[in-house]
Structure 1
Amino acid sequence: MVFKRLLGALGVGGPTVDTVLSTPTVRPGGSVFGQVNLVGGEREAEINGITLSLIARVEVEYEDHEGHTDRTFASAVVSGPLRLAAGQNLAVPFSFPVPFETPATAIGGQHLSGMVLGVRTEVDIAGQLDKGDVDPLAVEALPVQQRVLDGLLALGFRFSRADLEAGHIRGTRQTLPFYQEIEFKAAPQYAHRCNEIEVTFVADAYGVEVVLEFDKRGFLSSGDAVRTYRLEHAAAQQDLTAVVDGWIRAAL
């Protein structure tokens, strides 16, 4: 059952809002479609505008501990000023683009535990900004990203976890204030050289940067090693297992 949320700016008897996503699953570079449903309250209301924002739960490092916070990484105004009569039903359709760097919450249809993304509806009513709840949004990996991950799995790497970290990866085209790390336990043939691999994708309209961070082991090669590679979107048309294998062998 869907409950319409009361807009708190006008209190009891005021209008309600309910945002419905017609595309609950998207891909980076695509668009979110849906509509904002408004129902007038006991009296007329002046709404100055409606804004939708993409929100992500991000891990932040402080001086003495780690924590999580919600970060807005994209927003779009979907309605200008409008007047909502008492009892009036009004639907505001919308579509807005999803940045290419948007992290995946699912890979091959499987949800990545710990990944929290959503769409927040903000209504400016009576000069007050009413920040609503976040409607969950699922994001599938781009085809070329999926090919890289398929290559790791084919080589015997085992998915471990994924998270979002605040910060910037040096030397990449990253524009968002955070990045995603997808962690894999090392395949048996590499276990003597590394413990795990963390994969980060920095995508744009032309392709994707693949950042591999290796947790290396061994007397002479302990510590982390980072390598960055570039793939065009067209690379999704081929099996990338051998390419990924070459990257790993060269790095280790």
Structure 2
Amino acid sequence: MFKRMLSAFGVGGPSVDTVLDSPHALPGEVVTGQVRIQGGSKDAQIEEILLSLVTRVEVERGDHERVGTAEFLRVSAGRKVQVTAGELTTIPFQLTLPWETPISAVGGRELPGMVVGVRTELVIAGAPDKGDLDPLLVGPLESQDRVLEAFGELGFQFRSADVEAGQLHGVRQELGFYQEIEFFPPSRYAGRVSQVELTFVADPHELVVILEADKRGGMFRSGGDSFGRFHVSHEEALRTDWAAAIDGWLAKVAQSGGGQAMFGGRQEQYGHDQYGHDRHGYDQHGHHGQHGRRGPGMGGMVAGAAAGVVGGMILGEVMGDVFDGGDEGSEE
């Protein structure tokens, strides 16, 4: 997307341009593209070409919250790459998206608050040269899309989306973060539920759907959150009446704050105790992250609304340095 002069080689040095074959992808799919290096006035050597998947992550430490870069996949596209003066060198690459890659687009449109991209990093003379980010529009799996459509059918309104660092208790995760998509509940629950958060955790075989209803500020003086967790295979998710399941759960939450759900032969408890704590929803850091047809649903709502190491992630610079697009040597 951006052609960038490699300043490490000085004036007349090579330039690099990373091009994705398609900006659209789904979790579990392979993203392909090319790193195109245009030779400058003299021959040059690039020690290594690194490509990484990056997203924006919120990290909570006590009462403080920091937004940083989460690099959740890194691969080498080439080593000791010789660039001949005046010639174009093309290096093909492929990246397999983790199944837990956050959703950054719904209905082909960007999901507000979400950024996922491919970043190119060149190692020159032993020093890394971080490049620009090529945005990637990661859509929902078909199983996830059915859940999102149910939210639209029930009258939920999109509020926001973000990614939080941490591990969800009782849920097997590959990555050290989870995505939360927040909604305002249907009007019939006004005054009883202030918002509902949705989290997906997927692998090649199973989808975990986690719901969190926030009752703080509503008619419940004691406040607290209630949680629902459903384990289904991707095939079962396509056969599930999610509108009925979600509405039934929320109705019980609004009335009594607890209940049960049975899907795919696996029973899940959900609710809250007198302290507002999820019975199995809090992660090890104290985060409260637990939580069939194609139509306008979620897409319509979105359009209208329109550092350290954590779990293997590399948390880097503030996001403005990464997602604002480019350095002083960039030229579009």
TM-score computed with the length of structure 1 as normaliser: 0.92
How far is 1:94 from its partner? 1.3
Question: Could you tell me whether the CA contact under 8 Å between 1:9 and 1:128 is conserved in 2?
Answer: no
Q: Which has the higher strand share?
A: 1
Structure 1 counterpart of 2:249: 247
Structure 1 counterpart of 2:236: 235
Q: Distance in 1 between matches of 2:71 and 2:92?
A: 21
The AA in structure 2 aligned to 1:103 is P
Q: Distance in 2 between matches of 1:11 and 1:247?
A: 62
The CA deviation string for residues 16-68 of structure 1, in whole angstroms up to 9 with x for no partner, is 11000112010011111110101112221122221110111112234454331
Q: Distance in 2 between matches of 1:178 and 1:11?
A: 39
Question: Could you tell me whether the CA contact under 8 Å between 1:212 and 1:227 is conserved in 2?
Answer: yes
Within 5 Å, give how 1:15-26 maps onto structure 2.
Answer: 15-26=14-25
Structure 1 counterpart of 2:91: 92
Q: Distance in 2 between matches of 1:76 and 1:248?
A: 42
How far is 1:109 from its partner? 2.5
Structure 2: 5+ residue runs without aligned partners?
258-332
Give the secondary-structure state (helix, strand or coil) at the position aligned to 2:146. helix
- Bigger drift between 118-127 and 213-222 goes to 213-222
Structure 2 counterpart of 1:153: 152
Change (3 A) 1:55 1:228: same
Q: Distance in 2 between matches of 1:108 and 1:3?
A: 26
Structure 2 counterpart of 1:135: 134
How far is 1:190 from its partner? 2.7
Change (3 A) 1:248 1:13: same
TM-score computed with the length of structure 2 as normaliser: 0.71
The AA in structure 1 aligned to 2:115 is V
Question: Could you tell me whether the CA contact under 8 Å between 2:120 and 2:130 is conserved in 1?
Answer: yes
The CA deviation string for residues 44-100 of structure 1, in whole angstroms up to 9 with x for no partner, is 112222111011111223445433111101111111222111112111111110000
Q: Distance in 1 between matches of 2:17 and 2:220?
A: 59
Higher relative contact order (CA 8 A, sep 6+): 2
Structure 1 counterpart of 2:311: none
The AA in structure 2 aligned to 1:212 is L
Change (3 A) 1:247 1:206: farther
Structure 1 counterpart of 2:301: none
Structure 2 counterpart of 1:106: 105
Q: Distance in 2 between matches of 1:243 and 1:159?
A: 19
Question: Could you tell me whether the CA contact under 8 Å between 2:2 and 2:18 is conserved in 1?
Answer: no
Moved over 6 A (4+): none
How far is 1:145 from its partner? 0.9
Question: Could you tell me whether the CA contact under 8 Å between 2:108 and 2:137 is conserved in 1?
Answer: no
Q: Distance in 1 between matches of 2:230 and 2:221?
A: 25
Change (3 A) 1:221 1:86: same
Paired-residue identity, %: 48
Give the secondary-structure state (helix, strand or coil) at the position aligned to 2:147. helix
Q: Distance in 2 between matches of 1:220 and 1:43?
A: 72
Question: Could you tell me whether the CA contact under 8 Å between 2:163 and 2:178 is conserved in 1?
Answer: yes
Q: Does 1:181 align with 2:180?
A: yes
Give the secondary-structure state (helix, strand or coil) at the position aligned to 2:40. coil
Within 5 Å, give how 1:39-78 maps onto structure 2.
Answer: 39-78=38-77
How far is 1:127 from its partner? 2.2
Give the secondary-structure state (helix, strand or coil) at the position aligned to 1:58. strand
Structure 2 counterpart of 1:215: 214
Give the secondary-structure state (helix, strand or coil) at the position aligned to 1:194. coil
Structure 1 counterpart of 2:227: 226
Structure 1: 5+ residue runs without aligned partners?
none
Q: Distance in 1 between matches of 2:180 and 2:113?
A: 12
The AA in structure 1 aligned to 2:224 is G
Change (3 A) 1:81 1:250: farther
The CA deviation string for residues 99-152 of structure 1, in whole angstroms up to 9 with x for no partner, is 000011112223211111111101122222211111111110111111111112
Q: Distance in 1 between matches of 2:151 and 2:2?
A: 43
- Bigger drift between 170-179 and 207-216 goes to 170-179
Q: Distance in 1 between matches of 2:204 and 2:152?
A: 26
The AA in structure 1 aligned to 2:235 is A
Question: Could you tell me whether the CA contact under 8 Å between 1:120 and 1:133 is conserved in 2?
Answer: yes
